[in-house]
């Protein structure tokens, strides 16, 4: 048994306790330990537990649970005299503080509570995000007292009120990270009881300023979703005459039935509660009642609207459905969300996920917090219509289920920061931990004795303004560049790393060499990623919007995100001169792109060619190599076509994808195989029956196979070699068939047609096979091979020249590894396609196409160097770049530089790894069935994942700046550069906390020191501890200066930590030893040390060390004392011993 297996066995055993513990058992565990509050907080792959010995089983349960989705925190509470446990699940607070209802329900064990809370809180994140609310996702659970089996048994009473008041105090103690509301088992009077104890409660009675019953608004939202989905499926949103089967006539079902009936729909209803059924029939007797109620799944209807309990659409009921759409108000309509969504799709039944259409309850509650206005909620209900269209359009373009589409859209929306508060929820959680919340103490453990010299939130803005006014960021030489920022999404930590390193190097050059570098910073236009982002946020396709309107939306998106990039750079301490900011979409940048194209065109290097290009059906655009990923496609059928040669010899030719059969141009055989004697003969085309040749080739996957140029590049080369026309167009840009006799067929329809046509010659075989397939790395859909006209740049000579420059070290790299990587890239580089079929980007003259992003960014580099104003500009001295962009951006820019200026455009290339975070990954354990619990089915593993928007794990810089300070973030960055793998930068919570702790201790210790010690102008005699600290400065200066020159940023960070701790240790010791003596020498030493530290470390942590240096300079000691090399050299132990001997 290996280490991972042993750890997972222990983890599985611990997690199993959560299923064994009843709620009374867990209550007793807490009571026995005298614990009234507890928490589990999660960030960047790691848990923090308030009581590790008690909560380890819960951590293990989360680690092995599919329902755990990086929840920020789970908070647990109890009160003496209350027979209930309190839970608050906080899933994601990036978009806003956590909001979700309080569930008061019976549970048989602790695991059921945890699973329910995890699922529901994530569901609230998605519901709130897709609704456009500035709320995160949360859920509250209060366990039912043990003497009751159902909340209805616990009637309104002082005891019930006491329970809810106690939960209200629990919510109050959380400081606003979680806002509660009405949910299953609770009512508005319960919310009123909560409100007496906190201000973080919604869904309160109207007489208390609340909104009352949201059911009519919920019904309106479901109706608008139904109309939008019907429009997507049928082309009309008119429900007149449409048969709608509504299950449930309760709070939401009844108003939905009335609305449908008023619109002229034929409404069928079913209801278990006879009184509720009689009430709606008394009002509308013409409604058709389905009896028994379960027969509704067999009803002849167009739409099924489940508005009662959840999990009604499942593996048992889906085969019975005769409808075209499922859309209702029930929560958790699908029993198995992913599997049931796929079952519906396979039956061509549309589905509106419940959190898309039934969201108006939470929207109604959220409006209370702004000051309730019913008209706002009415407007929000109408927004369900375009949001439903967005989900259906996204699902269609991504070839996925509506459930997956809604989840993707919601998760991406949830990653956006609150426009005013940022990631405040995480800061509140930090405060709860620091303030001793779990110990029942809402106050800091220790009172601060001294006012700090430096307060990040107060001191960073004026320092930034000061540097800008002083022209600190302006300069001419040397020229430093950093990776351009994508404007497709909000800026992330991964985006700014290159620029932070540039800023550190630039500040070091200014301080140590007295030069003023010019900074080349700016944005790229986002290309396809930006276009897809805009499409995601629109209920209409770009074709429906029209090119002009869509490009205008892209432009707005670009400039909005560009402004956010500039703002977040500044708060991170990265400055720039606004006039020097580069943008390919502004006039100067756009004209440079055009100038580069004209130059290449005049030089005879641009040409057009019909070629095979891989198109994404989601964007209609050609995909380049970096946009493609190869993966295995699982297929369960393959086919054999029976052939007979002119000599009477037969063969069965294998093919997996029949839709490619119309593209056959020849039959290929191996020249030394069993069918070699077929070479030179002709056979009939399998579809069109015209003669095609039999060719010999050793580049085949089998002894005999169809030659289909669109299927394999080797086949295309073979066809051209034999003088055959390979350009058989099989697909259009949308992925439909375009081959003769199959126009407008889907590939599946074409397969079915071919099977029927060739029934006598075609043999089908069933099984399981994995076949190579190409996918779009952005959308995850299979790409389509098509012939299309593309523009290319001839780069053969430039590649040769660049290889020579690299091998002769005209370009220096931060590591030989990256030099070898670039040479490897160049060895496989023969063509450069610069055209794309996007709508957004720099337009190609006299064409509807645009230039590729990286052609535009090659022009960006030239502009940064000074071209075209200077036709032969000097190369940029140094560029800082993420390793992922070495191929996409740096190599094309170097090639263009060789063509245009005759030399490389970069002199030195510093390559850093891609920023990664640690995440949890579940692997099958191979022990449990699908019906088994998660802890039996899975084993836990920590993995590194790149910080990517599509992975939902991005963190905006401003979030961590607000939590840790800009200096701590920068220090955390450079400490993360010390990862073992050169292509990975691991940003961890521990490193950030370490950085914050070290800087905080230095700041607070100096603050106390300066307020304890009074300045003196008397001559100062240096004591042994003074000499010890001062003697270390020269070696430190030498080490750090050399590290800056060599770009050893991680080493600089380590030296800063060591030096800071040395100074803190010195201050602690001299204050203790010299309590009754003069501290004048210590004041002098601190002044000297801070001056040195400012010179050495302010490039890395500019805000803190600038403020400390200014502070110490204002309190400078005038003395004749100077430490010289002739002074004694001491170790710390020697100095300390001598100091103690001084009377």
SS3 694: strand
Report the relative pairing of strands 243-247 and 266-270 from DSSP bridges.
Answer: parallel
The number of beta carbons lying within 10 Å of the beta carbon of residue 81 is 7
In terms of C-beta density within 10 A (0-12 exposed, 13-18 middle, 19 or more buried), how is residue 755 classed? Answer: middle
SS3 41: strand
- Distance separating alpha carbons of residues 556 and 895, to the nearest angstrom: 32
Query: Tokens for 702?
Result: 């089998």
Report the relative pairing of strands 243-247 and 303-306 from DSSP bridges.
Answer: parallel
- Distance separating alpha carbons of residues 348 and 618, to the nearest angstrom: 20
Q: How far is CA 775 from CA 527, 628, 772, in A?
A: 18, 6, 10
- Distance separating alpha carbons of residues 224 and 504, to the nearest angstrom: 54
Q: How far is CA 1023 from the centre of its chain?
A: 55
Q: Catalytic positions, please? A: 139
Q: Is the peptide bond before 292 cis (omega within 30 degrees of 0)?
A: yes
The number of beta carbons lying within 10 Å of the beta carbon of residue 32 is 9
Cα dihedral across residues 328, 330, 334, 337: positive or negative? positive
- Distance separating alpha carbons of residues 75 and 54, to the nearest angstrom: 14
Q: How far is CA 593 from CA 306, 556, 843, in A?
A: 56, 20, 9
Which residue stretches of 779-832 are H helix?
796-807, 816-827
Q: How far is CA 86 from CA 74, 125, 142, in A?
A: 11, 20, 5
Query: Tokens for 361?
Result: 């309850």
Is residue 730 within 8 Å of residue 739, measured between CB atoms? yes
Report the relative pairing of strands 37-43 and 46-49 from DSSP bridges.
Answer: antiparallel
- Of 261, 231, 237, nearest to 249 (Cα)? 261
To the nearest 10°, report the CA torsion of 61, 64, 66, 68.
50
Place of tokens 């022209």: 471
Q: State which H helix or E strand residue 571 sits in.
A: helix 547-571
- Of 607, 592, 608, 624, nearest to 900 (Cα)? 592
- Of 29, 32, 77, nearest to 439 (Cα)? 77
SS3 291: coil
Show the CA angle centred on residue 995, arms to residues 448 and 959, nearest 5°. 90
Q: State which H helix or E strand residue 479 sits in.
A: strand 479-482
Strand ranges (E), 279-389: 288-289, 303-306, 325-326, 350-351
DSSP 84-140: --EEEEEEE-SSSSEE-PEEEE--SSHHHHHHHHHHHHHHHHHHHHHTT-S-EEEEE
Half-sphere exposure (Cβ direction) of 280: Cα atoms closer than 13 Å? 27
Report the relative pairing of strands 266-270 and 288-289 from DSSP bridges.
Answer: parallel
Adjacent-strand bridge partners of 73: 41, 90
- b/e map of 389-424 (b: 16 or more CB within 10 Å)? bbbbbbbebbebbbbbbbbbbbbbbbbbbbeeebbb
């Amino acid at each position: 048994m290996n280490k991972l297996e042993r750890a997972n066995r222990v983890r599985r055993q611990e997690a199993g306790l959560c299923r064994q513990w009843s709620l009374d058992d867990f209550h007793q565990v807490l009571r026995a330990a005298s614990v009234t509050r507890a928490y589990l907080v999660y960030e960047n792959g790691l848990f923090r537990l308030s009581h590790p010995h008690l909560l380890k089983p819960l951590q293990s349960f989360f680690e092995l649970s599919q329902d755990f989705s990086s929840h920020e925190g789970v908070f647990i509470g109890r009160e003496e005299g209350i027979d209930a446990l309190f839970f608050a699940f906080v899933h994601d607070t990036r978009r806003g503080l956590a909001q979700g209802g309080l569930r008061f329900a019976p549970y048989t064990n602790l695991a059921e509570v945890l699973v329910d809370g995890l699922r529901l809180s994530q569901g609230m994140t998605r519901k709130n995000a897709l609704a456009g609310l500035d709320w995160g996702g949360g859920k509250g659970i209060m366990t039912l007292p043990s003497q009751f089996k159902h909340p209805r048994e616990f009637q309104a009473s002082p005891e019930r009120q006491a329970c809810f008041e106690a939960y209200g105090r629990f919510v109050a103690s959380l400081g606003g990270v979680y806002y509660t509301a009405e949910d299953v088992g609770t009512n508005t009077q319960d919310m009123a009881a909560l409100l007496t104890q906190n201000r973080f409660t919604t869904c309160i009675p109207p007489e208390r300023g609340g909104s009352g019953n949201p059911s009519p608004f919920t019904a309106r939202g479901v109706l608008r979703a139904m109309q939008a989905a019907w429009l997507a499926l049928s082309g009309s949103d008119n429900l007149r005459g449409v048969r709608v089967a509504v299950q449930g006539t309760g709070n939401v079902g009844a108003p939905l039935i009335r609305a449908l009936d008023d619109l002229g729909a034929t409404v069928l209803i079913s209801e278990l509660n006879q009184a509720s059924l009689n009430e709606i029939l008394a009002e509308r007797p013409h409604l058709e009642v389905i009896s028994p109620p379960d027969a509704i799944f067999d009803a002849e209807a167009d739409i099924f609207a489940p508005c009662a309990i959840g999990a009604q659409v499942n593996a048992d009921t889906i085969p019975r459905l005769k409808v075209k759409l499922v859309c209702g108000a029930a929560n958790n309509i699908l029993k198995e969300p992913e599997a049931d969504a796929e079952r519906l799709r396979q039956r061509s039944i549309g589905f509106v996920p419940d959190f898309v259409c039934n969201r108006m309850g939470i929207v109604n509650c959220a409006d209370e917090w702004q000051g309730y206005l019913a008209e706002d909620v009415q407007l929000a209900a109408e927004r369900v219509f375009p949001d439903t269209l967005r989900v259906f359009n996204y699902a269609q373009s991504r070839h996925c289920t509506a459930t997956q589409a809604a989840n993707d859209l919601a998760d991406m929306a949830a990653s956006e920061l609150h426009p005013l508060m940022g990631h405040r929820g995480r800061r509140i959680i930090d405060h709860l931990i620091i303030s001793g919340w779990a110990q029942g103490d809402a106050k800091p453990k220790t009172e601060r004795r001294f006012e700090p010299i430096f307060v990040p939130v107060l001191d960073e803005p004026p320092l930034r303004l000061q540097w800008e006014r002083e022209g600190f960021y302006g300069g001419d030489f040397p020229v430093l560049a950093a990776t351009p920022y994508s404007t497709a999404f909000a800026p992330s930590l991964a985006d700014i790393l290159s620029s932070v390193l540039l800023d550190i190097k630039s500040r070091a050059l200014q301080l140590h060499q007295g030069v003023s570098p010019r900074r080349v910073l700016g944005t790229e236009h986002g290309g396809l990623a930006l276009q897809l982002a805009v499409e995601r946020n629109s209920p209409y396709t770009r074709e429906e919007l029209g090119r002009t309107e869509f490009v205008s939306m892209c432009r707005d998106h670009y400039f909005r995100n560009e402004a956010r990039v500039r703002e977040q750079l500044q708060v991170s301490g990265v400055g720039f001169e606004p006039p020097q900011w580069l943008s390919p979409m502004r006039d100067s940048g756009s004209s440079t792109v055009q100038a580069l194209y004209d130059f290449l065109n005049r030089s005879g290097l641009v040409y057009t060619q019909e070629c095979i290009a891989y198109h994404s059906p989601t964007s209609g655009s050609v995909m380049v190599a970096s946009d493609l990923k190869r993966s295995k496609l699982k297929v369960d059928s393959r086919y054999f076509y029976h052939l007979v040669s002119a000599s009477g010899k037969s063969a069965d030719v294998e093919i997996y994808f029949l839709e490619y059969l119309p593209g056959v141009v020849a039959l290929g055989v191996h020249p030394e195989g069993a069918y070699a004697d077929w070479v030179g003969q002709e056979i009939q085309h399998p579809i069109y029956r015209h003669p095609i040749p039999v060719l010999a080739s050793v580049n085949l996957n089998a002894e005999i196979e169809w030659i289909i140029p669109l299927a394999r590049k080797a086949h295309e080369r073979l066809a051209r070699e034999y003088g055959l026309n390979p350009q058989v167009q099989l697909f259009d840009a949308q992925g439909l068939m375009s081959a003769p006799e199959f126009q407008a067929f889907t590939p599946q329809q074409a397969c079915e047609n071919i099977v029927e046509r060739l029934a006598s010659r075609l043999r089908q075989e069933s099984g399981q096979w994995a076949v190579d397939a190409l996918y779009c790395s952005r959308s995850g859909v299979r790409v389509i091979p098509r012939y299309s006209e593309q523009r290319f740049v001839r780069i053969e000579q430039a590649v040769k020249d660049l290889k020579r420059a690299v091998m002769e070290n005209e370009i220096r790299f931060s590591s030989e590894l990256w030099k070898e990587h670039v040479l490897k890239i160049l060895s496989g580089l023969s063509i450069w396609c610069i055209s794309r079929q996007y709508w957004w980007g720099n337009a190609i003259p006299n064409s509807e196409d645009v230039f590729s992003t990286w052609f535009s960014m090659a022009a960006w580099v030239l502009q940064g160097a000074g071209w075209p104003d200077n036709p032969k500009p000097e190369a940029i001295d140094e560029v800082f770049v993420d390793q992922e962009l070495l191929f996409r951006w740096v190599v094309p820019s170097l090639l263009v530089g060789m063509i245009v200026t005759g030399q490389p455009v970069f002199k030195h290339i510093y390559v850093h790894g891609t920023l990664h975070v640690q995440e949890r990954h579940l692997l099958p354990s191979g022990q449990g069935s699908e019906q088994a619990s998660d802890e039996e089915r899975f084993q836990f593993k920590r993995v590194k994942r790149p910080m990517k928007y599509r992975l939902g794990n991005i963190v905006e810089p401003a979030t961590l700046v607000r939590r840790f300070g800009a200096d701590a973030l920068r220090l955390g960055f450079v400490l993360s550069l010390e990862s073992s793998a050169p292509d990975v930068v691991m940003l961890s919570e521990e490193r950030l906390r370490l950085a914050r702790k070290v800087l905080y201790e230095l700041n607070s210790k100096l603050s106390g020191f300066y307020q304890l010690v009074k300045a003196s102008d008397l001559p100062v005699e240096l004591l042994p501890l003074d000499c010890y600290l001062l003697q270390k400065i020269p070696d430190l200066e030498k080490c750090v200066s050399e590290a800056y020159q060599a770009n050893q940023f991680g080493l600089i960070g380590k030296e800063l930590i060591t030096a800071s701790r040395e100074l803190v240790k010195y201050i602690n010791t001299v204050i203790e030893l010299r309590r009754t003596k003069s501290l004048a020498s210590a004041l002098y030493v601190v002044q000297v040390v801070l001056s040195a530290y400012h010179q050495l470390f302010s490039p890395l942590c500019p805000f803190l060390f600038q403020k400390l240096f200014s502070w110490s300079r204002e309190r400078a000691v005038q003395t004749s004392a100077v430490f010289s090399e002739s002074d004694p050299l001491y170790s710390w132990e020697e100095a300390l011993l001598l100091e103690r001997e001084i009377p």
